[in-house]
Every structure is written in C-alpha cells, then in structure tokens.
Structure 1
Amino acid sequence: MTSYDPKITAVLCVDLYNDFLSDGGKLFPWIKDIAAENNMMENLRTIVRTARTSGLTIFHVPHHRWESGDYVNWKYPSPYQLGAAERQAFAKGTWGGTFHDEFQVQPGDIVATEHWASSGFPNTDLDQLLKRNYKEKIILIGLLANTCLEATGRIGMELGYHVTLVRDATSARSHEALRAAMDINGPTYAHEVLTTRELIAAITSNAT
C-alpha cells in the first residue's frame, strides 16, 4: 500500500459546509442517508484528526459561496450552477455557507480560493498552493463523490499528483452515483481507492 509521507502529502477537505453536513442544510437531504450508511461524519473526523496528529497538511477546497447576481450574465452556466443559484447553496455570509463547526480552519491549514464549478483546480490557486508547499500526494475527502471530489481528483492526476480517494469519507445523491465515482470512474484516475480504516493504517504506519 502507498505510504503517506507528511512532507509531501495533503488532505483536501472538499466543500465541508453546513449546507452539506448539517441537519437543516440546504443540500443535507441529498446526502444524509448514504452518509449515515457510510459513517461518513465519523470517518471525516477520524481522517482530519489523524492527519493533524501525523503532520499531514489540511487544505480546505471550498465551493464558491453564492451571491446575488451569480451566473445571471454567464454565457454557458451549467445546470448544477443554475440549480445552486436557485437554492442559494452555500450563500456567502450565511450559516449554510460556513464550514461545519468540526472542520473549521485551524492554524497551519491552507485555504484555496473558491471553485466555481466542480473541480478545485481551474481558476483557483490550489495547484500553486500545493506545489509551493511541496505536496505531491493528495487525499480527497468531502462532497459530492461524483461531482467536486471526482473532478478535483481527475484534474489533480492530470497535473501530476498522486491521488487517493476514500470511499467512506464522502457521499452522493444515490448509491449508483457513489458506486460510479468509487468503483467505475475512480480507478481510471486515482492511484488508491481506500476505506478510512485502510487510509488510517497507511498514515499511522508511516509514522512508526
């Protein structure tokens, strides 16, 4: 199994907003059932906690926070972008557009600029921040498995990063979407597709 040297490894926390993770969040109904089956919240906590204690850097990869007027004059906004605008998902300055209490930015964390579509890389400083900090292995956790997580991982691979997906530290709107992201599409670009237990074992074995 791959080793995760903290000098070159980053954990990418993708879109860990209240609108996704908290009861009452606008998108929480989309993911809550599969997230419960996956034990997603506890796995996210475990990965972030273990990463911090093992010296891996936490990168926050946030989706654009909606503001009035977004996409109105865009030539080709996607259906997902228009849907997000209609719902006012992750609205700037609101509780829903705030990182979940358990995944707030802490000293030593790095926050990328917000991505407008699915991938955390285009039109952001994520690639520059990773390279500036000598990170070449990225572990992706967060939401959604078949949109932002997959798009970030795909482009990360294209940019030369070693990509790890964690199948039970994410969720999707359907079992079919999750299976496609982890079992069909994931192996075409990710170097590892692990469970949280497997990932923690790999991280902690590196520290011994």
Structure 2
Amino acid sequence: MNSTEKAKQGKETAQLPVSGFEIDRHTAIVIVDPQKDFLSPDGVAWGAVGESVIENNAIGNIETLFRLGAENGIHVFVSPHYYYEHDHGWQFEGTLEKLMHNINMFDRGDQLNVEGFEGSGADWLERYKPYINDKERVTVVSPHKVFGPENNDLVLQLRKQKIDKVILAGMSGNLCVESHMRELLECGFEVAVVGDATGSAKLPNLDGDQAAQTNFVMMASEVYTTSQLEIVLESRKILAEE
C-alpha cells in the first residue's frame, strides 16, 4: 500500500469518538466577553466580527443562554475583557493585543470606579443587563487581559461553587472562547461549547469562525447549537418531574 492509499484509508477510518456531556448540578454556563465592542454595530470590533455574529445569530443565542440559565437553575459566570489606563503601558504585544489597544477596545478608566463605563464599548449589551445584574444567578469574574482565563479568577470562582462542568459561549470564538476552552480543559473541567452562541473575525483569507468551530469539535466533549441545548434542558426538566 503506497502513501496515498494509506492516507485515504486513514481518512475513511478516523472517526472522532463521541464523548457526550451530561448536565447536572455541578454544571455552569460561562459566557465570555458579552460586550458592546464585539456585539454592537457601534462596537469597535464590529467590522471584523459582525458578519459572523449575524450569521450565527450570536446576539440572540447568547441572550437565550442567559435565559436558559435562569429558567433551569444553572449558574452563569461572565468572564469579561477590560483594559485600564495602566494596561496601555505594556512593553510588548501580540498582533491582536496591539490592535485592541490601538482601537481602545474594552477601555475603562481604572478598576476602582465605573465612571464612563455605562454605554461604553466595555459595557454589556442592554438586552443582557437584566440577567447580568441578577447577582444570585450570575457571577461576573475579574477581567482577563489577553485571551484565556489564566490571569483572572474564573477557575477559582468555579471551584468555589463546586463546578466541574462548563457550557461555554461568547466572544470571540477563535480567540477568547477557544482560549477559555483550552485552559478549562487543562484545569480538569469537562467542557461543552454552544457553537452558534459565538462569532469570530472574518478577514481576507482568514476565517476565524471556521477555525473556532473546527477546534470546538476536536476538543470539547460536546458542541451544541442553542436550539439543541434548549431541547436537552427541556428533556432534563421533564425527566426530573417524572
């Protein structure tokens, strides 16, 4: 058998196993960066991510996740992205870090006050605020600074609530959401992703959404659509009532 035949046989036989994901009382929803700079046409990143956000119906689907959390007793954690004035003094930056600093993405004055926060690009979408402001059902953790949660307190807050399973969504897919997925997996969490409750930059010759969706499937225990997750939760509710 030559190398071409072996490669063909490998493609035919290499089926990804199905891990599955069981939602229980140790499960939380984590939503990354549900902020105006990503999710509003007025946001500074909309020109890059807007096409994908619209295609996925990400704005509405993220709102559905907040609602499903409230209706099903699943705690929601929000991992936001903020840059304070002193963050602009960094001595080196990666490509997207540099872009975010250049366009003043997620900017706030300082961490000790919220002056100028309301309505800014760092603020939440208005339609999410009734959920996020419900302190009993939603926890907003400290901000991450690059892409992943390594330098905020998300993992600490999940552990303190005895969470070991995470349903993950938010912005942007191939950067912050994927980085959160990778770190949570490395920390021993079981992770499912809601693929259409996210969006990514689409640029000439670069499709961040396609990259994200590929890696979600290859790494997460389950990739749901928002509708599929809603059906799963409804079934779980019915079984609990029987």
Normalising by the residue count of structure 1, what TM-score does the alignment of the two structures yield? 0.91
The aligned counterpart of 2:196 is 168
Q: Which AA in structure 2 matches 1:85?
A: H
The aligned counterpart of 1:96 is 121
The aligned counterpart of 1:204 is 234
Could you tell me how far apart the structure 2 residues matched to 1:86 and 1:160 are?
35
**Deviations, residues 117-136 of structure 1 (Å, cap 9, x unaligned):** 1012x121111100110111
Q: Which AA in structure 2 matches 1:47?
A: L
* Sequence identity percentage: 27
The aligned counterpart of 2:148 is 119
Alignment of 1:50-199 (within 5 A): 50-63=68-81, 65-74=82-91, 76-92=92-108, 93-94=116-117, 95-104=120-129, 105=132, 106-108=134-136, 109-120=138-149, 122-174=150-202, 176-183=207-214, 185-199=215-229
Could you tell me how far apart the structure 1 residues matched to 2:89 and 2:227 are?
44
Q: Which AA in structure 1 matches 2:85?
A: S
Could you tell me how far apart the structure 2 residues matched to 1:73 and 1:66 are?
11
Preserved contact between residue 29 and residue 167 of structure 2 (Cα < 8 Å)? yes
SS of the equivalent of 1:70 reads helix
Could you tell me how far apart the structure 2 residues matched to 1:144 and 1:186 are?
13
Q: Who wins on radius of gyration, i.e. which is larger?
A: 2
Q: Which AA in structure 1 matches 2:72?
A: S
Matched residues, number: 203
Normalising by the residue count of structure 2, what TM-score does the alignment of the two structures yield? 0.79
**Deviations, residues 64-111 of structure 1 (Å, cap 9, x unaligned):** x2233424243x422221211111101113411111112222222111
The aligned counterpart of 2:23 is 4
1:37 aligns with 2:55: yes
Preserved contact between residue 21 and residue 192 of structure 2 (Cα < 8 Å)? no
5+ unaligned residues in a row in structure 2: which ranges? Answer: 1-19, 109-115
**Deviations, residues 160-195 of structure 1 (Å, cap 9, x unaligned):** 111111111111112732122112x22332111111
Q: Which AA in structure 2 matches 1:187?
A: V
Q: Which AA in structure 2 matches 1:77?
A: E
**Deviations, residues 114-153 of structure 1 (Å, cap 9, x unaligned):** 1111012x12111110011011111111111000000000
